[in-house]
Structure 1
């Protein structure tokens, strides 16, 4: 901190400590990078006048301030403005106000401060994540000079004895206008060139002001309006409970547990319609992969003003949506994780659909979970939060069991359609796998033939992209690995390259073993590219499409493929988990899970939960029409409790078993957890740093004296090397989340890792790799 700066949390100076204390307007500023702050700055009178709104320094705007001994200009967020008795000589002054309007409301500032405290992240970093880059850069706008007549302009014109009729006409046109005009607008209206206007400006008869305006936007697409559907008894009861919560004016968490196809979305829609009657807004969070044409169409067919926020938006589009939301012009905001920060002035409801999805947890700082941030926001604004899923996260389920949240069930599909029959195919049985050398077993092949000949459509799930998942030498055991990660490279046949799916490193696939020179190099494992090739060779008379990260890179590619599948332009859709949820295609009569075990044995305590959710969700993509449907799950572990429960569509049974395992192992949701990862380029240095940090953490926990708190590790991370860095990790577990966070703060105090070594703390981790 610069020597002449005072921290926001420093004690006020005693009267004898300063010579000339005076009452001044002081702004507290947080920087997006560097020292945490906040830092205090004097607000000059020119920036403290509300009569000049565009130059007014207030909380929620960004300010330009001098920082450090060199007084370099930096941009920071103003988080508070107050009158304080200070020694003005000890504080620097604000240089300028960056934003013409407030970016962050008082409520949003409080929310971001909570996030900074809870997720052990600098406040400035949280603020930078909450305000989109397009908003910070005012994307899609440009500076325009607006003209207004000066006071007594016409009299001054006569006094100056100006004789140009064009100037007179231009001035009279501007005087007659009910709004400021741009130079081109005035020239066109007065039918004159720019020269007469510039002359009037030079003589002081016309005043100019610069403002930012949007550069334009496309016309809104018109959607055919739909009327609300009629509820079945379960939906009606669920809606009544939600409406009671909405009318109560209190914060309430609701877990809406509905089987796939039970009509959860219709309940959301009618709850939002109830909110919109009172001119309030709703935020609906969905996984990024669920922002399908179907989802968007359903909302836009019911509401006139819908903003859809997703990763494919340009900065200009995101800025345009942000401004529309902030002005209260939008009824419903549908978006992925970051939409939880939408600047709604009249928020009435938050819905998180498929709340169990891992994409709601941010994997970079600030490492927040949208569900927990949404609950904080719901409590602050006294509104309900609905968490909807056919396979709720165990965290949400336990909160419902303990009475913190209300649980509402939709146990049946709409129109009483039956849940699909699910059967497992045991890939340990040679009779099932002798059918060729491909990924599709005999039972699945026969089921596909039957479904396709009957005019139905087929979905195949394989949560592994690429062609071959590894390249190995059978002679010496060599595996081609990434130069920067401790991971096998995946062969992508389309571009004939071996690719790392973590750091995107590419290498040419070898023709012979680099170690023993054996030419018998083998491409093993099955990815979606190889599966696509197998499907096309087995079913040449039917069209097939693949959805994975490799094929969905272009803007609008999701929409194009899914719309074509809905129209019946192709009969087989295969892909990774992006096809496993949020899709409603009545003509799909068969779903095949190529390998249900891909995530089952990962070193992650949530592995069983994720496997159950994936299988149960993809099974729900069929049987949604009158033709019914069936599901075949290929697995090497048909007796695993997660797979057995998914086959029976029995979430309560799965939850009961898995929660018993978690309770015995002292894992979430029964204890809090923080994961600390230390990484750097030199393995020995990283290991030693992790051991030192582990010792500090253990000492902090011992000093706290809270029972059943522990530090596990340090140990080598499951992915021991990633993007060139060696990795070690520790786990802090205990019943008191606040005490765990305080232990990390205590351990970090005065701790400086060696050069090149970095460490991070992940509160409530969802990725244990």
Structure 2
């Protein structure tokens, strides 16, 4: 066994750390628990060697894994992500491995001699008037010290201290700072297996008596009857819901009538009630697409195909049929979807086709559930994986196919370190694994479409809907003319109201899209003009009427709805703008008999809320569904014949070169929800920009026309896909530091001219303050990704040399948002 190992730790430092192996037996690609600074961290072993470091090395505490959790491909993929996206390798590996549940973080506190002296002084002299803390806070400190004095060995876990004394983390941190107590990391491994306690009936009790002849009381009989009805076994949690004391069950256990056993907890795959896309026969275009995909898979070589099919053309059926072929060959496949909300429906489809071979990975699962699913995949029990962007790291065996559904969706880009794009990572993983990659969308990203035009990707097209169903007719309503003709500004145009009334009369369903949640977008004072803004962000607070509250949609800060202006104390508070909550209210007023549902971030709190609403829509229990962009993606609801777009062209006014592309994609996608059944659909698109080319091409369902026009503009302005773009964001909670850091980097960029790399900035970010941080940024454009990466890497090194903290410099390669 080599004497040393290099470990990648989840810290914001671009380096690995060398440790002595000691008595542990680490493996490359496996996890180890190591001491780091004053605590403990779990990291990934990247190398084993005998080369001693220049300083004394600490020793590995324990090897968590006997076998690697990352194979060679995943280790290389992590290295590529760290290199390409300029992210610390340890943070990349932490993102790739959802096993945090297997390491239990814990801290232990011990009283020092100084702490004993302080406790004695406090007992004899009382609280100190010189202290900046209140008398109550000082009493809490003495309670902690007293608790530790009486604890075994003068030490106790943080959880025990806080439970017994009511001390906060700030109180404990203050004691450490005073050196009255010391803190030690005692993190350890834990079993993340999910289990449930089940009560099992051991013996039957005729006529309410035990074999000994002792009578059972009423509560005991209720429990025994419930167990008998349940077949002799039932989860303890279900029995606890009965109207009997919990001690009753323990009494039955002591008497030997019931036994408590632990069993593996069941995993809820999906509650979605859907039609399988394989319920119909593939048409000629689908069969041709399937044949092209199967040929790519059977070649066992890396390839990328762009499956461009109009909405409702049956792309999902092609995916599932291809995955059937992969599974039949004993190989594995990964299917990525952009939103957690799409996962249940897709998982239901997959589970119906592939049974227990399906595993699910997404952020709405608990840590224990993610660990359980990961181990099923790693052990080969599941060969089909469906999930959001993190599922691209699933440790499947013999990977044959990766499908990225709705590949254009911005949800695939992670907005925190590491800022990877799952679509591009999928392509790289396919390259490293020799697998076929399928990118599917009705509105492909211009980057992917351009690659297909150049021949870098194979282009597979589905130009018609299944069963020759027509694409919905799109009717534009010019809101400028609407206002001129009515003299009033309304949320809904007259044409939209007519069409909704018509659909309700015919017992059909409709979807209304407004891509803005809440009730009112802005709250201002009519007297002084003050807009109520978030205290942490340079953003107006959004009014939510149902709660009621004002909320910042960026940081989550909340305020009660004011009755007076906080600046001038005027009572003339005015609510401006419209959100999905207001749309729902107006629809209830206009159509009081209609059954109306809403789907946005306010109504979807838990992971089952999305399933519940969509199941109601599928079952015909909802007539009108109001929602944000969440309702526009991939849902197959056959009863929907009308889509009303109330406001989706706001984005055209954003300072973002992708604004037109995003608007076209959103309008096309939401239009695609109409007419997916036997009844033709219609779309009413309300807009203030009817002449804009994104609106015009969306009306005509003409992706190729839009792409040609937009690519022309991108070529002229040297934006992607004709150049690589990076956004360098400088942030600090202190304005002077943010200005100083951005100024220093700006001067460095001026001195360091890179060929064919254009640096714009520094300038204030469009949202200059966000989550308490002041923000300034540089936008870099380059013809060569290699030169761009080199310049960014040199910039990071310069920032480090100037003692600019790594966490204050955010590098976003291939940035999707410049806000």
Do these two structures clear the TM 0.5 threshold for a shared fold by scoring above it? yes
Which of 539, 554, 579 is the matching residue for 1:527?
Answer: 579
The answer to whether the Cα contact below 8 Å between 2:277 and 2:316 also exists between their aligned partners in 1 is: no
Cα separation, partners in 2 of 1:585 and 1:436, compared to 1, 3 Å? farther
Structure 1 unaligned runs (5+)? Answer: 1-22, 48-55, 144-192, 194-212
Q: Which shows bigger deviation, 217-226 or 401-410?
A: 217-226
Q: 1:459-483 CA distances to partner (integer Å, 9 max, x unpaired)?
A: 0000110010101223432211111
Task: Measure how far apart 1:519 and its partner are.
Answer: 3.0
Cα separation, partners in 2 of 1:537 and 1:403, compared to 1, 3 Å? same
Q: 1:343 aligned to 2:395?
A: yes
In 1, the alpha carbon distance for the partners of 2:695 and 2:55 equals 70
Match of 2:73 in 1: 107
Match of 2:780 in 1: 732
Name the SS for the 2:353 alignment partner.
Answer: coil
Task: Measure how far apart 1:284 and its partner are.
Answer: 0.2
Task: Measure how far apart 1:554 and its partner are.
Answer: 2.3
Name the SS for the 2:790 alignment partner.
Answer: helix
Q: 1:30 aligned to 2:8?
A: yes
In 2, the alpha carbon distance for the partners of 1:63 and 1:133 equals 13
Name the SS for the 2:281 alignment partner.
Answer: coil
In 1, the alpha carbon distance for the partners of 2:619 and 2:452 equals 40
Name the SS for the 2:19 alignment partner.
Answer: strand
Name the SS for the 2:293 alignment partner.
Answer: helix
Q: 1:711 aligned to 2:678?
A: no
In 2, the alpha carbon distance for the partners of 1:582 and 1:444 equals 23
Task: Measure how far apart 1:515 and its partner are.
Answer: 3.6
In 1, the alpha carbon distance for the partners of 2:413 and 2:78 equals 16
Name the SS for the 1:594 alignment partner.
Answer: strand
Name the SS for the 1:428 alignment partner.
Answer: helix
Q: 1:768 aligned to 2:791?
A: no
Q: 1:37-72 CA distances to partner (integer Å, 9 max, x unpaired)?
A: 32333434x44xxxxxxxx3101122233556x8x6
Number of aligned pairs? 663
Q: Which shows bigger deviation, 266-275 or 426-435?
A: 426-435
Match of 1:630 in 2: 682
The answer to whether the Cα contact below 8 Å between 2:300 and 2:400 also exists between their aligned partners in 1 is: no
Match of 1:747 in 2: 795
Match of 1:78 in 2: 45
Length-normalised TM-score, structure 2: 0.77
Cα separation, partners in 2 of 1:739 and 1:698, compared to 1, 3 Å? farther
Q: 1:673 aligned to 2:745?
A: no
The answer to whether the Cα contact below 8 Å between 1:61 and 1:98 also exists between their aligned partners in 2 is: yes
Q: 1:112-135 CA distances to partner (integer Å, 9 max, x unpaired)?
A: 011101110110111111111445
The answer to whether the Cα contact below 8 Å between 2:102 and 2:192 also exists between their aligned partners in 1 is: no
Name the SS for the 2:461 alignment partner.
Answer: strand
Match of 1:466 in 2: 518
Match of 1:491 in 2: 543
Match of 1:353 in 2: 405
Q: Which shows bigger deviation, 98-107 or 417-426?
A: 98-107
The answer to whether the Cα contact below 8 Å between 1:226 and 1:302 also exists between their aligned partners in 2 is: no
In 2, the alpha carbon distance for the partners of 1:413 and 1:463 equals 26
Which of 484, 493, 504 is the matching residue for 1:441?
Answer: 493
Match of 2:566 in 1: 514
The answer to whether the Cα contact below 8 Å between 1:140 and 1:215 also exists between their aligned partners in 2 is: no
The answer to whether the Cα contact below 8 Å between 1:432 and 1:441 also exists between their aligned partners in 2 is: no
In 2, the alpha carbon distance for the partners of 1:95 and 1:311 equals 30
Equivalences for 1:658-697 in 2 at 5 Å?
Answer: 658-697=710-749
The answer to whether the Cα contact below 8 Å between 1:678 and 1:757 also exists between their aligned partners in 2 is: no
In 2, the alpha carbon distance for the partners of 1:382 and 1:500 equals 45
Match of 1:580 in 2: 632
In 2, the alpha carbon distance for the partners of 1:669 and 1:221 equals 38
Name the SS for the 2:809 alignment partner.
Answer: strand
Cα separation, partners in 2 of 1:126 and 1:417, compared to 1, 3 Å? same
In 2, the alpha carbon distance for the partners of 1:281 and 1:494 equals 47
The answer to whether the Cα contact below 8 Å between 1:252 and 1:385 also exists between their aligned partners in 2 is: yes
The answer to whether the Cα contact below 8 Å between 2:761 and 2:779 also exists between their aligned partners in 1 is: yes
Which of 413, 418, 424 is the matching residue for 2:465?
Answer: 413
Match of 2:169 in 1: none
Cα separation, partners in 2 of 1:538 and 1:733, compared to 1, 3 Å? same
Match of 2:327 in 1: 276
Name the SS for the 1:623 alignment partner.
Answer: coil
Task: Measure how far apart 1:689 and its partner are.
Answer: 1.8
Q: 1:719-759 CA distances to partner (integer Å, 9 max, x unpaired)?
A: 01111221111011111112112112212224235689812
Q: 1:509-556 CA distances to partner (integer Å, 9 max, x unpaired)?
A: 222333444433210100011111000000011100001101100230
Cα separation, partners in 2 of 1:236 and 1:698, compared to 1, 3 Å? farther
- What's the C-alpha RMSD, in Å, of the aligned pairs? 2.6
Q: 1:95 aligned to 2:95?
A: no
In 1, the alpha carbon distance for the partners of 2:521 and 2:58 equals 59
Q: Which shows bigger deviation, 383-392 or 501-510?
A: 501-510
Length-normalised TM-score, structure 1: 0.82
